[in-house]
Amino acid sequence: MSDETLALPGDALREGVVSALRDALGADLLDSLIKPNDDVWVRVSGEAWQQAGRVLRDTVGCDYFCFLSAIDWMPSPYGKSEDDPTAPTPERSTEIVQGYAGGSTRFQVFARVTNLSKHFGVTIKADVADEALAVDTWIPVYAGANWHERECHEMFGIGFTGHPDLRNMYLPTDFEGHPLRKDFPLLARIIKPWPGLADVEPLPGGDDDEEGAES
Amino acid sequence: MTDIADRQKLSYIAAQAADARLNVELETEGMTLNIGPQHPATHGTLRIIVRLDGEQVIWAEPSAGYMHRGYEKLTEVRTFPQVTALVNRIDWLGSFANEVPFILAAEKLMDIEAPARAQHIRTILFELSRIANVSLFLGDLGVQLGAVTPVFMAFRDREHVLNLIESATGGRFHPNFDRIGGLKDDLPAGFITECKQVMKKLRNFCDEMEDLLFGNEIFQSRLRGIGVIPAEVAKQYGLSGANLRASGVDWDLRRDQKLPLAYDKVEWKVWTHPDGDCFARCWIRLQETREATKIVDQLLDTMPSGPVMAKVPRIIKVPEGEAFVSTENPLGEMGYYVVSKGDLGPFRVKIRSASFNNVSIVPWVLRGVYVPDVISILASLYFILGDIDR
Amino acid sequence: MNLAVTIPYWGQSLLRVLGGTVAVLLPAGTIVYLFLFKMMSFMQSRLGPMEAGPYGSMQLFAEVGKWLQKEDITPARADKRVFRAAPLVVLVSTFLLVAVVPFGPDAYFTQFDAGLFYMLAVSSISTLGILMAGWSSANKYSLLGGLRAAGQLIAYELPMVLSVLGVVIQAGSMNLQTIVIKQNSDSIFGWNGLGYPYIATQFVGFLVFMVSVQAELTQTPFDMPIAESELVSGYMTEYSGFRFLIFFIAEFATAGVFALIASVLFLGGWGIPFSWFGWHSVDSIDNWMNVAGPLVMVTKMMVLAGIIMWVRFSYPRFREDQLQRFAWKVLIPVSLINIMLTAIFKVAF
């Protein structure tokens, strides 16, 4: 657990969040990260997702639902789609590196809830295993999760057990694929690469380089 | 596959229907009415499927996505400075306000802060876009309820605000003016005097609206007690902005959050209303427009001197990390969850737009109301399609 | 009846037909240009049409030309014959209404003792047309609009009938011509400088009548059946081209005709107080009154139509249940009390 290393002075509030979650969930609280007086990230196991939501709402007092979504941590096989379509595709790293509060799976569901009386927010993440791409729904905890879960379902293909109505939110009903997955190609870009990505004109007299010298 | 989806849908419908105030003695054959995608009450292409019993709504289901542009995917192939041009188009009535939280998130990850003057100007433009957005709401509210005159007054006075934004940024609708580390430019000469005059006009406009609309008995009878959203439900659905404050929740991100913006340097009031009905939501917005003019006035008086751009590298690489920054936009809480991998562009951007949450309550709040109230409720919830569909 | 020229019967008929057309179309055009185009624009801090003709005065012809050119679309699922007939039914009711309005001592289309009764009866024909349009369009919005219109128009028919009863009691006649003459020849407590326009005693009736007229015309704040931001123009949703134009003309022509009727019932109609010129009876009225009468009528009509339109531009609309409640719980009791008081005073004095 990384929260010991971050036990900096001055943020009992956010440490209270982590300890409350640890008390309630035990080993299901996998990791946490506190930036003192700024923000807090916690990661729970996929099974404890709904339970964690309840704890956040009832014990921690985060009764305001901000958003729910997911991240695909796999690096995009298409890079930033800046390749020349006629040249062979360059080699790219396929190593999956998760962000704050770590992780062990390609997909993570994450959500943010806010405590309106004490003025802080919590970002909570949960690993979603590739083989069973589903977590429990948050609708019983936060009713507003309904649409967010629908959006997440169509964009990432992550199921939400217990959700009554996982229809597509934005896409046509017969749309194939999950657009926000990194391996879903942005076709417009692949056919015609965007010229602007590395569009850096040297300033007259400037000594800019790729590393970004100060102008 | 389809029959499972159908069954789920049916059970959902059944659950909602059971909840609705059904007239059991007089059971009649229902009618499904599509409000939208082309309908004057939906300000764009939102479709609301309502099941009617006579004129009473049994259940309602909004269907979005007619204008989904996939900004979350597009940001992944853009560099950080390029993203502002995209997110401008989310809430197109108050465009500048969309750029600010994203830039702030990038600045937070880079651990830089804009100079004091840039923060000041940002706040001024932020509030100007709020005025531009909400003044149109106040006019449009009249049209939705059948009064045609207020909307022209709104357009008349909004024009001054757009001119101001144009004079400072060069764009009336999509300024694309905010940069990581500051602003593209300083304010033009004469902006301050002109802005002060415009703020006076806008305050007059607010008074006019208060007389013309809010004091009108018909207007009140159309909005009072309609579409009541209790505070608990509002929080559960993540309503934000005036919709949340109208339910009595005293929560304004401008005040309740530490951000490098100039809100802590001015005196202003966060208005709340205990009722939670349509009237409260509209009334809060009127007061907010007034407060916004006051904020702008005070900021113009206390404008610090100095540069408008911090020292940033020419090629912006944002260090690895994650940050969520949200601001109190005209429509409500607008936030960006930015994940950076130390690259030129973001790895993932989750756009938390206000209208998405604000509209997700529609099935809940429309149950059992009458068709005319559907319009009042939709108007008072105030959404912009770009903000739902992103 | 001392006409200077004797007009043969066919000539009289021709004059009546032409006069009727003018009496319907002229108010409609004037109301649209003066109030809908100009007054509304000035209220909304804009200029309105300025290009067609001086101050945009030819705009109306441009609009009519535009509508006539447009395709006359009938929806595939519509009940075609009913759909096509509906606008005409609405317009017919307007023409039938104007038939009983007197414009001068001899300048009237027709005159009979049940004039007021007839007027109230034919004014509800337009309800039929609206219901036909709403039902036959095969559009849910139109259906809702049509049903709302039926409910509303029937509800407001009652206060309208009840509010004119006060006038009938005072005048002792249902003949509109008699009502006009009574108003101009009677005196208030012996002073006959102004005649006796019934608005003086029937002010409550006048208010109720004007409110009902506003509702009968489905003008804001009673425009729930049309409600363009909600039902997308209700029963008119599916209409285009000249059929829409007919609805449009009917709407404003009926506004003009009801304003005429209101001026006949409450403001003294075509007359100017007879005492000014020493007339004592119909027969002694000078002949030039047949020309001046219509002008007096038009002036009064414009004032009343202006009020109708002014209210239309200023107010938001009522909800369906609110306007029904207003009719049944406010207007009808008020007009019943008005009738009772009028009757008591009539007997007492």
The H or E element spanning position B339 is strand B332-340
Find which of B148, B157, B380 to mutate to test the C interface (most C CBs within 10 Å of its CB).
Answer: B148
Tokens of C264: 């006949």
* CA dist list (Å): C178 to C111, C162, C175: 10, 19, 5
* Exposed / middle / buried, residue B89 (Cβ in 10 Å: 0-12, 13-18, 19+): middle
Mean pLDDT in chain C?
Answer: 83
Return d(Cα C325, Cα C328) in angstroms, integer.
5
Which residue range forms the structural domain that includes residue A152? 11-75+97-189
**Token match 């973001």: residue?**
B346
Nearest CA in chain C to B39: C232
Q: Higher model confidence: residue C111 or residue C262?
A: C262
Taking CB atoms and an 8 Å limit, are C317 and B40 in contact across chains? no
Of B3-12, C38-47, C317-326, least confident by mean pLDDT is: B3-12
Q: CA geometry: angle at B332 spanning B327 and B337, to 5°?
A: 45
Between these two residues, A186 and A212, which has the higher pLDDT value? Answer: A186
Q: Are strands B56-63 and B31-35 parallel, antiparallel or unpaired?
A: unpaired
DSSP letter string over A87-111? SPPPP--------TT--SSSEEEEE
Instruction: Please spell the DSSP secondary structure of C251-283, one letter per residue.
Output: HHHHHHHHHHHHHHHHS-TT---GGGTT--SGG
Chains B and C are touching, with contact defined as 3 or more CB–CB pairs separated by less than 8 Å = yes
Residue C223 confidence (pLDDT): 82
Enumerate chain C positions whose Cβ falls within 8 A of a Cβ in B: 40, 43-46, 140-141, 144, 220-221, 223-224, 227-232, 313-322
Q: What is the DSSP letter of C39?
A: I
In the structure encoding, which two tokens stand for residue A8, read together?
A: 């900096």
Half-sphere exposure of B204 (CA within 13 A, CB side): 11
pLDDT of residue B185: 84
Give the gap in angstroms from C-alpha C228 to the nearest C-alpha of chain B.
8
Residue A2's pLDDT is what?
Answer: 43
Number of helical H runs and strand E runs in chain C? 13, 0
Average pLDDT, chain A: 78
Give the per-residue pLDDT at C167. 87
Domain presence at residue A202: no
Residue B144: its chain C contacts at CB < 8 A?
229-230
Percent of chain C with pLDDT strictly greater than 70: 97
Q: Is the peptide bond before B37 cis (omega within 30 degrees of 0)?
A: yes
**Residue A137 in domain:** yes
Q: What is the pLDDT, as a whole number, of residue A90?
A: 73
Per CB-CB distance under 8 Å, the chain B contacts of C230 are 40-41, 144, 371-372, 374-375
**N-terminal to C-terminal alpha carbon distance within chain A:** 41
- Cα-based distances in Å from B267 to A62, B184, B270: 28, 28, 10
Q: Best mutation site among B315, B357, B390 for testing chain A: the one with the most A CBs within 10 Å?
A: B315
Neighbours of C34 (CB within 10 A): 16
Residue A83: predicted pLDDT: 64
**According to the 3-state scheme, what is the secondary structure of B207-250?**
HHHHHHHHCCHHHHHHHCCCCCCCHHHHHHCCCCCHHHHCCCCC
Residue of C nearest to B150 (CA): C44
Is C332 part of any domain?
yes
Closest CA to B374 of C320, A38, C198: C320
Nearest to B352 among A66, A164, A212 (CB): A66
Distance CA C87, CA C245 (A): 9
Question: What phi and psi, each to the nearest 5 degrees, are found at residue A111?
Answer: -145, 165
CATH number reported for the structural domain that contains residue A46 in this entry: 3.30.460.80
Per-residue pLDDT at B55: 76
Q: Which amino acid is at C329?
A: K
**3-state DSSP call for residue C1?**
coil
C150-185: per-residue pLDDT in tens? 888 888 888 988 888 888 888 888 888 888 888 887
Q: Which residues of B touch A34 (CB under 8 A)?
A: none
Helix ranges restricted to H, A47-144? 49-58
Residue A118 within a domain = yes
CA distances from B179 to B110, B168, C146 (A): 13, 14, 55
Residues of B with CB below 8 A from C320's CB?
55, 370, 372
Q: Is the pLDDT of residue A73 over 70?
A: yes
DSSP B21: -
Intervals of chain B under pLDDT 70 = 1-29, 42
pLDDT of residue A196: 58
Closest among C344, C92, C297, C79 to C180, alpha carbons compared = C297
Return the CATH architecture of domain B69-386. Answer: Orthogonal Bundle (1.10)
Please name the residue of chain B whose CA is at the shortest distance from the CA of residue C39: B149
Task: Determine, yes or no, domain membership for A182.
Answer: yes
Q: Give the distance from residue B96's alpha carbon to the nearest chain A alpha carbon, in angstroms.
A: 22
Answer yes or no: is pLDDT of C349 > 80: no
CA separation, residue C297 to residues B349, C23, C27, C256 (Å) = 70, 11, 11, 11
Q: What are phi and psi of A32, to 5 degrees?
A: -155, 160
Say how far apart CA A174 and CA B305 lie, in whole Å.
57
Domain boundaries, chain B: 69-386
**Chain B residue with Cα closest to C221:** B146
- The closest alpha carbon to B104, from B311, B345, B338, belongs to B338
Which residue shows structure tokens 């363009």?
C228
User: Cβ contacts of residue C247 below 8 Å, gap of 6+?
Assistant: C87, C90, C133, C236, C239
Nearest chain B alpha carbon to C220: B146
Other C-beta atoms lying within 10 Å of the C-beta of residue C18: 10
Give me the phi and psi of A194, to 5 degrees please. Answer: -75, 125
Strands B332-340 and A134-136: unpaired
- Quick check: A3 pLDDT over 50? no
* Closest to C137 in 3D by CA, of C198, C91, C83, C207: C83
Examine residue A89 and state whether it is found in any structural domain, yes or no: no
Name the residue in chain A with its Cα closest to that of B62. Answer: A169
- The phi and psi torsions of B229 (rounded to 5 degrees) equal -115, 115
- The candidate with the shortest Cα–Cα distance to C136, out of C73, C90, C84, is C84
Taking contacts as CB-CB distances below 8 angstroms, the residues of chain A near B9 are 165, 167
Q: Which of A112, A144, A210 sits opposite B360 (nearest CB)?
A: A144
Strands ordered across the beta sheet of A107-115: A29-35, A39-44, A120-128, A107-115, A64-72
Contact call for residues A16 and A99 (beta carbons, < 8 A): no
Residue A198 within any structural domain of the chain: no
SS3 state at B54: coil
Give pLDDT, residue A201: 57
Angle at the Cα of B109 from the Cα atoms of B107 and B114, rounded to 5 degrees: 20
Q: Tell me what the mean pLDDT of segment C269-297 comes to.
A: 77
Nearest to B324 by CA among C79, A40, C117: A40
d(CA C343, CA C201): 12
Chain A residues within an 8 Å CB radius of B12: 164-165
pLDDT for position B1:
39
Q: Tell if the CB–CB gap between B341 and A97 is shorter than 8 Å.
A: yes
| Band of pLDDT at residue C4, cut at 50, 70 and 90 | low
| Closest CB to C315 among B39, B144, B218 | B218
Chain B residues inside the 8 Å CB shell of C229: 40-41, 143-146, 375
Q: What is the pLDDT of residues A191-203, one digit of tens each?
A: 766 665 555 555 5
User: What is the count of structural domains for chain A?
Assistant: 1
Contact call for B339 and A76, based on CB within 8 A: no
ipTM, interface predicted TM-score of the complex? 0.81
Name chain A's partners: 3 or more CB pairs within 8 A: B
pLDDT of residue A7: 45
CA distance C134 to chain B (A): 15
Query: Quick check: B225 and B284 in contact, CB under 8 A?
Result: no
User: Hey, are the CB atoms on A80 and B65 less than 8 Å from each other?
Assistant: no
In this complex, whether A and C touch, counting 3 or more CB pairs under 8 angstroms, is: no
Tens of pLDDT, residue by residue over B320-347, are 888 899 898 888 888 899 998 888 888 8
What residues of C are in contact with residue B148 (Cβ under 8 Å)?
Answer: 40, 44, 220, 313
Q: How far is B154 from chain C (nearest CA, A)?
A: 10
From residue A57, alpha-carbon distances to A62, A64, B180, B296 in Å are 5, 8, 35, 37
User: How far, rounded to the nearest angstrom, does the alpha carbon of residue A137 sit from its chain's CA centroid?
Assistant: 16
Give C9→chain B minimum CA distance, Å.
Answer: 49
Residue C61: which H helix or E strand, with range? helix C59-69
Find the CB nearest B372 among C45, C220, C230. C230
Averaged pLDDT, A103-117: 87
Distance from CA of C30 to the nearest CA of B (A): 21
Q: Do the chains contact at C230 and B375, CB–CB below 8 Å? A: yes
Residues of the domain holding C268: 9-348
Q: How far apart are CA B53 and CA C66, in angstroms?
A: 39
Task: Count the domains in chain C.
Answer: 1
Nearest CB neighbour to A165, from listed B8, B72, B326: B8
